[in-house]
Amino acid sequence: MTTPTLAAKDYASNQEVRWCPGCGDYAILKAVTKTLADLQLVKENTVFVSGIGCASRFPYYMSTYGFHTIHGRAPAIATGVKLANPELDIWVVMGDGDGLSIGGNHTLHVLRRNVDLTLLLFNNEIYGLTKGQASPTSRRGTHSPSTPRGSLDTPLIPGAFALGAGARFFARAVDIQQSLLVDVMRRAHDHRGAALVEIFQNCVVFNDGVFHEFTARDVVDDNQVHVEHGKPLRFGKGGVRGLRVRPGTQQLEVITPGEDGMTDADVLVHDERDISLANMLVRLEAPVFPVAVGVIYDHPARTYETDLMAEVAAESAGGAGDLGELMAGGQTWER
Amino acid sequence: MTMTGPVAGTARESRESAVVRFAGDSGDGMQLTGSQFTTESALAGSDLTTFPDFPAEIRAPVGTTFGVSAFQIHFGSVDVMTAGDELDVLVAMNPAALITNLHDLRLGGLIVVDSAAFTTRNLEKAGYKANPLEDNSLAPYQLLSLDVTRLTQLAVADAGISSKEALRCRNMWALGLMLWMYGRSREATRGWLKKKFAKNAPIAEANVAALDAGHAYGETAELGHGLHGFTVTRADLAPGLYRTVTGTEAMAWGLVAGLQATGLKRLVFGSYPITPASPLLHVLAKLRKFGVVTFQAEDEIAAVCSAIGASYAGALGVTSSSGPGIALKTEAIGLAISTELPLVVVNVQRGGPSTGLPTKTEQSDLFQAVYGRNGDSPLPVISTSTPSDCFEVGIEAVRLATKYMTPVILLSDGYLANAAEPWLLPDVNSLPQFPVAQRTDPEGFHPFLRNPETLARAWAVPGTPGLEHRIGGLEKSAETGHISYDPANHQKMTDLRAAKINGIARDIPRQEVSLGEETGDLAVVGWGSTWGPIQQAVRRARNRGQSVSHIQIRYLHPFPSNLGELLRGFGQVLVPEMNTGQLVTMLRSTFLVPAEGLNKVNGKPFKIGEITAAIDARLEAQS
């Protein structure tokens, strides 16, 4: 018997999608179903786990298994799912408040532990479901109902956080750039271990246009660098500009080959296994620098559940445990 | 040696039971000493109960009262159910151990001290203005003042160890003396020392030498100085194979037995270190070949969430903690209630509120367990009464969780977790079996389809073709399992969740009377670790002809269906609890019975005498 080929729509549930019209989540949902279809994932072995927030409604709209849990805890729940059944293909959907504020601790630990999960961070730099408060990724000075004078705290850089936590995969994509998003999610899925994808997601109601500086049609070429392993870090229309490490420093700078004595050879080539480069790339901010998107870091390591299951197998090699023997171990006496 | 106090005879006297407490600095090895005395007593055929009592500090400053660690053992030929009200013997390794423990020694009881530790500095640290060994203040007791330090040094002189290492053998010298006093063997302890210090033969040799020297001292001294030994005859225990077991061990094994009873392949134990629950993680961490996967999570919330995730994926999810950690897990327990997933939550209670008394026992999380969540969020709450009872209750928690698709809170406490008692090993072939059937049939499936009898929803796990579904903490339609904000549906689902849990009352044993008649003047009602002292106090009262019965409640929510009727059969109801009155409030509100509390929260188990006094007061007031 051959399994019929599944189309993107086959991965969508029959539930009415209830995000605001124009929300970036629609585009992400579309890209996810396409990615699953591209990969022909087996529905019954696929699980979407989410926390709380607009993004976290996601599992209801998939036709796979899904678990909409509690605020911030999706990585912890997903870890338990993996421990129970390492064969499952587990996707975690988090928002920026969910995954980096209330659930920041779990995100940190799931990354350093390297549990094999595909983690999608929908970053809209705002709390949407609770009506627009500043989030941990909101830029300083963000005016919101909870910060009427502008927010005071420095925003977190998800990529820097992830790499600092020991993530072995970090990538970025933009909700409306579908092919990039699909490519990146596919790469994240292929990566064995915790793979975090930060998706710049526009909140049309509470934070509309917050990413326009590098996602708007007229600036996307100049203000985004699409990183690819083994390829020069070039951007701008026709790839006229590039990034290099400024000699004598550990900082990136923008150069234009053909100007100021710069040549194509001066443009840095992306190496997705280079943690130092990844650390520099995640911190680039528009408009001075292009924002780095694509697979910034991918350097697989042993995964938590692989090692754990190897231990389980080794300790069970002599057969299952005998409870009677266990209880009668140590000092016993007959009466 | 100096021996003062009432003149002691020279013959070995017979005793029904005895209570011995070893007390010293937290670095003096009192817990190990007590454990070894326990093993030797058990092997000699005594029934026994132990009470390890130690400070929260790992190594408190030497000589301080707050750094005193103690281990009490009550052993005998009779039914031993408590760690003992009063001490017969107090072994005090320093002045701080003496001053903090003396009040528990009976008048005429024996004090054994290391006189070398009674230095001016140590006396000051303990708060003594004068040396009690010299000022006659210990006259009401027998005092055996020995230079244990020097005697130990002499004993280990040939072992080739440092003087600091030599001093660390003092506990074995004291143990040797006490083993002599009660006519116990040293064989198990010798073997244990050789194994423990297998990589350091001189240390092993020194400890054995100290043990033997303490023992020999007793034998020699008996002849010349009137120090006498006792014989405690064997307890009349049912025939079979025994071991000593702590509540922690029995709980771990009960959970494994529960897993085996379900037929599920894996138990995922998500936990975060907390006193006094961590030892359960330590015991389970060794049981991989039983299908137990332990996961030390980043916090209490992740611990419970990982267990819930595991249950969602078809394993048996278990988490454990103590009160403060349970508080952190609360929201997630609500998720397991809402999504109706099996989960066992073990609460090894300790003194509260907040950080409270981490190493001291209490029963003050009952309200937290039964009522402490947002929303109407019922779940079964059961309790364990003795260390070995933890085994049965562990199995029962798994049964209820899987049969009713619900989190179950299992209340233990710090005393039960650490205390040990002899245990007649159960026959593993006759343990209960309750195989769990996970749903595989897609026909007519939705995730909130219920078993009409138990009201449990279907357990459909990822990996099963055709059953793909989504669940979450939002209210769902009773008819389809999809999200529903419909008011009538929320009423229906709330009622269903309550009915499911209340229905468990039909599936648990009727409440029986542990001791006494089913009606009478007074019922003493307990739950948890108050079992031993209540049982003994009621036994004594009944021996004096009082009309008293003991009712011990394992099932705290829902209560057994006949409990109200049973309580109404008594003139008075007395509820001893190590809290300010939680079960008593529940009994009053549930059954409208005039129950009264007997409450204390001093970090120590009830004494039999305290309950006896309360029984007498109730019955005298009545007559």
Mean pLDDT, residues B346-371 taken together: 96
Higher pLDDT, B300 or B235: B300
Q: Where are the alpha helices (DSSP H) in B21-144?
A: 30-43, 95-101, 120-126
A276/B contact by beta carbon, under 8 A = no
Long-range contacts, stretch A245-251, CB < 8 angstroms, 24+ apart = A245/A280, A250/A276, A250/A280, A251/A280
pLDDT at B10 over 70: no
Q: Rounded to whole angstroms, what are the CA distances from B568 to B520, B522, B576?
A: 10, 10, 18
The pLDDT tens digits for B149-171 are 999 999 999 999 999 999 999 99
Average pLDDT on B465-494 reads: 97
Q: Do B302 and A76 touch (CB under 8 A)?
A: yes
Q: Coil, strand, or helix at residue A122?
A: strand
Whether the pLDDT of residue B6 is over 50: the answer is no
Q: Cα dihedral angle (B327, B359, B354, B307), rounded to 10 degrees?
A: -10
pLDDT for residue B446 is more than 60: yes
Question: Which tokens is B417 given?
Answer: 């977790």
Which of B169, B64, B164, B66 minimizes the C-alpha distance to B122?
A: B64
**Which neighbouring-strand residues pair with B520?**
B570
Cite the beta strand spans of B490-569 per DSSP E: 520-526, 548-552, 555-557
CB contact at 8 A, A294 and A184: yes
Strand partners, B321: B347
Which pLDDT band, with edges at 50, 70 and 90, does B3 fall under? Answer: low
Check pLDDT > 60 for residue B283: yes
Q: Is A191 on the interface with B (CB under 8 A)?
A: no
Is the CB of A83 inside 8 Å of chain B's CB atoms? yes
Residue B289 Cα, gap to closest chain A Cα (Å): 5
Residue B236 pLDDT: 87
Query: Which residues of B fall within a CB distance of 8 Å from A46?
Result: 462
Shortest distance between the Cα of A55 and any Cα of chain B, in A, equals 14
Query: What is the structure's pLDDT at B623?
Result: 64
**B540 with B492: CB under 8 angstroms?**
no
Q: Which residue of A has its CA nearest to B265?
A: A84
B290–A320 CB contact, under 8 Å: yes
What per-residue confidence (pLDDT) applies to B225?
A: 58
Sign of the dihedral defined by the CA atoms of residues B127, B130, B134, B139, in that order: negative
Question: For residue B289, which residues of chain A lie inside 8 Å, CB to CB?
Answer: 312, 315-316, 318-321
Mutation target vs A (from B289, B388, B431, B439; most A CBs, 10 A cutoff):
B289
What number is the average pLDDT over the span B587-598? 98
| CA distances from residue B210 to A177, A329, B195, B342, B479 in whole angstroms, order as listed | 78, 28, 16, 52, 73
Q: How many residues does this entry show for chain B?
A: 623
A115-129, A131-145, B3-17, B559-573: segment of lowest average pLDDT: B3-17
> Which residues are paired to A291 by β-bridges?
A224
What does the alpha-carbon distance between residue B267 and residue A296 come to, in Å, rounded to a whole number? 38
Q: Is B572 on the interface with A (CB under 8 A)?
A: no
Cβ-contact B410, B456 below 8 angstroms: no
pLDDT band at B7 (very low <50, low <70, confident <90, very high): very low
Whether A167 and A297 have beta carbons less than 8 Å apart is answered as yes
B414-443 residues touching A, CB cutoff 8 A: 424-428
Residues of A in contact with B309 (CB under 8 A): 49, 67, 76-84
Which pLDDT belongs to residue B226?
58
Determine, for residues B43 and A330 on separate chains, whether the beta-carbon distance falls below 8 Å.
no
Look at residue B5 and tell me whether its pLDDT is greater than 50.
Answer: no
Rounded to the nearest angstrom, the minimum Cα separation between A220 and chain B is 37
- Give yes or no for A330 touching B (CB within 8 A): yes
Instruction: Give B56 to chain A, closest Cα distance, Å.
Output: 27
Of the candidates B285, B551, B513, B528, which has an alpha carbon nearest to the alpha carbon of residue B419?
B528
Q: State how far the Cα of B235 lies from the Cα of B239, in Å rounded to an integer.
A: 11
In 3D space, the residue among B590, B588, B577, B594 whose CA is nearest the CA of residue B522 turns out to be: B594
What mean pLDDT, rounded, does chain B reach?
Answer: 95
For residue A106, give the nearest of B242, B298, B334 by CB distance: B298
Q: How far away is chain A from the Cα of B215, in angstroms, using its nearest Cα?
A: 22
CB-facing half-sphere around the CA of B227: CA atoms within 13 A: 26
User: What pLDDT band is residue B1 in, cutting at 50, 70 and 90?
Assistant: low
- The C-alpha atoms of residue A137 and residue B407 are separated, in whole angstroms, by 36
pLDDT tens over chain A, length 335 residues = 566 899 999 999 999 999 999 999 999 999 999 999 999 999 999 999 999 999 999 999 999 999 999 999 999 999 999 999 999 999 999 999 999 999 999 999 999 999 999 999 999 999 999 999 999 999 999 999 999 999 999 999 999 999 999 999 999 999 999 999 999 999 999 999 999 999 999 999 999 999 999 999 999 999 999 999 999 999 999 999 999 999 999 999 999 999 999 999 999 999 999 999 999 999 999 999 999 999 999 999 999 999 999 999 999 998 889 999 999 998 889 88
**Which of A69, A90, A316 best tests the B interface by mutation, with the highest count of B CBs <10 A?**
A69
A85-144 residues touching B, CB cutoff 8 A: 85, 87-88, 105-106, 108-109
Report the chain A residue with the minimal C-alpha distance to residue B480: A15
Task: Supply the DSSP symbol for B445.
Answer: -
Can you tell me the distance from the alpha carbon of B67 to that of B121, in angstroms, rounded to the nearest whole number?
15
Q: Which residues are bridge partners to B381 per DSSP?
A: B409, B557
Would you call B263 an interface residue with chain A, using a CB distance cutoff of 8 Å?
no
Whether A320 has its CB under 8 Å from any CB of chain B: the answer is yes
From chain B, pick out residues whose CB is under 8 angstroms from the CB of A308: 293
What is the rounded average pLDDT of the residues B188-214?
96
Q: Does A66 touch chain B (CB under 8 A)?
A: yes
Which residues of chain A lie closer than 8 angstroms to B317, CB-CB?
80, 84
Give, as one character, the DSSP assignment of residue B515: B
Q: Which residues contact B307 (CB under 8 A, 6 or more apart)?
A: A80, B268, B269, B270, B317, B318, B319, B343
Buried b (16+ CB within 10 A) or exposed e, B46-61: bbbbbbbbbbeeeebe
From A166's Cα to the closest Cα of chain B, the distance in A is 15
Q: Which residue of A has its CA nearest to B336?
A: A69
| B491-to-B478, B487, B488 alpha-carbon distances in Å | 10, 6, 5
Contact A320 B289 (CB under 8 A): yes
What is the predicted pLDDT for the residue at B223?
A: 54
- Across the interface, whether the CB atoms of B309 and A316 are under 8 A apart is answered no
For residue A162, what pLDDT is reported? 98
Structure tokens at B284: 């389970």
Of residues A15, A76, A16, A11, the one with CA closest to residue A44: A11
How many residue pairs bridge chain A and chain B with CB atoms within 8 Å of each other? 208
Backbone dihedral region for residue A144 (phi beyond 0: left; psi -120 to 50: alpha; all else: beta):
beta
Nearest of B136, B52, B134, B63 to residue B94 by alpha carbon: B63
pLDDT at res. B222: 65
* Start-to-end CA span in chain A (Å): 63
- What's the rounded Cα separation, in Å, for the pair B491 and B486? 9
Distance CA A151, CA B415 (A): 50
Helix axes B201-225, B148-155, angle to 10 degrees: 130
Nearest Cα of chain A lies from the Cα of B171 at a distance, in angstroms, of: 21
Which residue in the set A47, A66, A68 is minimally distant from B473, CB to CB? A68
Nearest CA in chain B to A80: B306
Q: Which residues contact B444 (CB under 8 A, 6 or more apart)?
A: none
Tokens describing residue B112: 């054994």
Which pLDDT score is estimated for B79?
83
Nearest to B45 by CA among B14, B81, B79, B76: B76
Contact flag B256-A323 (C-beta cutoff 8 Å): yes
% chain B with pLDDT above 70: 97
How many whole angstroms separate alpha carbon B510 and alpha carbon B506?
Answer: 9
Distance, CA of B517 to chain centre:
28
Return d(Cα B42, Cα B48) in angstroms, integer: 7
Look up residue B160 and give its two tokens: 């080739």
Residue of A nearest to B315 (CA): A84
CA angle B221, B222, B228 (to 5 degrees): 125
CB contact under 8 A, A315 and B289: yes
**Residue B9: per-residue pLDDT:** 45
Alpha helices in B287-413 (DSSP H): 300-312, 323-339, 366-371, 389-404
Order of all β-strands in the sheet with B381-383: B292-296, B267-271, B316-321, B343-349, B407-413, B381-383, B555-557
Task: Judge whether B445 is closer than 8 Å to chain A, CB to CB.
Answer: no
Are A234 and A273 in contact by the 8 Å Cβ rule? The answer is no
Mutate to test the interface with B, among A110, A333, A334 (most CBs of B within 10 A): A333
